Amino acid sequence: MRVKVGDTVEVTAGKDRGVKAKVKAIDHDAGKVTVEGVNRVYKHVRKSQRNPQGGRLSMEMPLQMSNVAVVCSRCGKAARMGARIARDGSKERFCKKCGGSTGEISPPKGKKSEK
């Protein structure tokens, strides 16, 4: 899936369905994404030097990457992203709904970049 840190995504499944927020972290090996303010859980913490108060800490847990859809910056809708080669030879992400470019993946290389 073509998700980057800082992308705005919409949650498509689970208790936070429909929420739009930014991606904080990605774990490509596990296929998980951490999104701001989504999938919050409580961790019970004992009193210590680090946490003199103790109690319950609210923290965000990762979501399955398949349960989020990238929100296109051009059309504003949650859509799948694709990859294509641009005219200058660079590789770019694009929205499959509106066809608009959402950013460059890699710079131009090969014969096309020399022109």
Q: Are residues 88 and 108 in the same domain?
A: yes
Instruction: Give the pLDDT band of residue 88 (cuts 50, 70, 90).
Output: confident
Report whether 10 contacts 19 (CB < 8 A).
yes
pLDDT in tens, 11-61: 999 999 999 999 999 999 999 999 999 999 999 999 999 889 989 999 999
* DSSP code, position 19: -
Q: Are residues 53 and 87 in the same domain?
A: no
Residues 72-95: what's their mean pLDDT? 89
Q: Which helix (H) or strand (E) holds 92?
A: strand 91-95
pLDDT mean across residues, the chain: 89
Q: Are residues 62 and 95 in the same domain?
A: no
Q: Are residues 21 and 46 in the same domain?
A: yes
Q: Are residues 61 and 95 in the same domain?
A: no
Which strand ranges, in their side-by-side order, compose the sheet holding 20-27? 63-64, 32-35, 20-27, 8-11, 68-71, 78-79
Note the pTM of the prediction, 2 decimals: 0.78
Instruction: Give the whole-angstrom CA distance, residue 107 versus residue 92.
Output: 9
Does the pLDDT of residue 82 top 70, yes or no? yes
* DSSP code, position 12: -
